[in-house]
Amino acid sequence: MGNTSSLLTQYDIEEVQQYCNHTFSQQEIVALYGRFCQLDRNGGGFVSADEFMSLPEFAVNPLSKRLLRMVNGLNFKEFVGFLSNFSPRASLQQKIEFIFKIYDVDCHGRVTFDNMLDIMRDLTGQYISEQQRQQVLTLVLEDAGYTKDSSLVLSDFMKILGNSGLKMEVEIPVD
C-alpha cells in the first residue's frame, strides 16, 4: 500500500476501514484511493503540501495553512484517516478533537484566546475589525463560562461545541 502504483487489495481496504473506525465504506475507500493516486503525482506513496495545494477546494480554504501542517507527507491510510474527520459517520467527539488540533497550533494540549483569535482572523479576513473579533470571542467564551485568560483543554472544547449541532462533512463520490 506504500506504493501508489500497486492495486488496492481487499486486505488493504479492510485495514484502512479499521484505521478510520469504519467511517468510510469499501466503495468510498476505493474512490479515495483513486483520488490519492491522482494527488500523488510523483508516485512516491505520500502526498506533499504542494500536491494538496493543487486542490482548488483546499487552496481557497482560509484554514489551509493550518491544515497543511496536518496533511503534509501523508500516506494513503493517513490520508483516509485525515478525511475521516469529515465523514458523516465520524462521531461528534472525533470532529471536536480534530478542530481542537487545528486550534492547538503548538501542540501543547491547550488553546488560548490568542490561538482562537488567530483562527478568527483567518476565517474573517478584513470583513470585521480586530476589536469586533475580540468582542465576539470574549462573549462566546463568557457564555460558555470561560474568560479571555482561560486556557482551554480538549474537554473544554467538548463542553463548548458538544451541543452546537456541528456540521463538518464531505461527500465522497463513488462511481
103-148 pLDDT, tens digit per residue, is 998 889 999 999 999 999 998 988 899 999 999 999 988 988 999 9
Q: Does residue 168 lie within any of the structural domains?
A: no
**Residues 15 and 81 grouped into a single domain:** yes
Query: pLDDT at position 56, please?
Result: 80
Q: What is the mean pLDDT of residues 140-165?
A: 87
pLDDT at position 5 is 42
Co-location of 135 and 96 in the same domain: yes
Does residue 167 lie in a domain region?
no
Lowest mean pLDDT among 14-18, 81-85, 95-99, 159-163: 159-163
Whether residue 69 is found in the same domain as residue 109: no
- pTM > 0.85: yes or no: no
Residue 69 and residue 34 share a domain: yes
Domain boundary residue, one of 86, 108, 141: 86
- Mean pLDDT of the 46-60 span: 85
Shared-domain flag, residues 74 and 107: no
Contact (CB, 8 A) for 118 and 105 = yes
Answer yes or no: is 170 within a domain: no
CATH number of the CATH domain containing 114? 1.10.238.10
Amino acid type, 163: N
Name the more confident of 7 and 45: 45
- Residue 167: pLDDT band (50, 70, 90) is confident
Same domain? 71 vs 119:
no
Q: Could you tell me if residue 173 is inside a domain? A: no
Q: DSSP letters along 16-62, please?
A: HHHHTTT-S-HHHHHHHHHHHHHH-TT-SS-B-HHHHHTSHHHHT-T
Assign 3 a pLDDT band (cuts: 50, 70, 90).
very low
CA distance to 91, 97, 170, per residue, from 85 (Å) = 8, 9, 9
Output the average pLDDT for the chain: 88
Burial string for 16-51 (b: 16+ CB within 10 Å, else e) reads: bbeebeebbeeebbbbbbeebbebbeeeebbbbeeb
Whether 5 is covered by a domain: the verdict is no
Q: Minimal CA–CA distance to 12: which of 71, 72, 70, 79? A: 79
Tell me: do 81 and 108 sit in the same domain: no
Distance CA 30, CA 27 (A): 5
One domain, residues 76 and 99: no
Cell readout for 133 is: 473579533
- In tens, the pLDDT along 33-45 reads 999 999 999 889 9
Structural domain including 133 reads 92-161
Dist. CA 93–CA 155, nearest whole Å: 10
Percent of the residues in the chain that have a pLDDT greater than 70, as a whole number: 95
How many structural domains is the chain composed of?
2
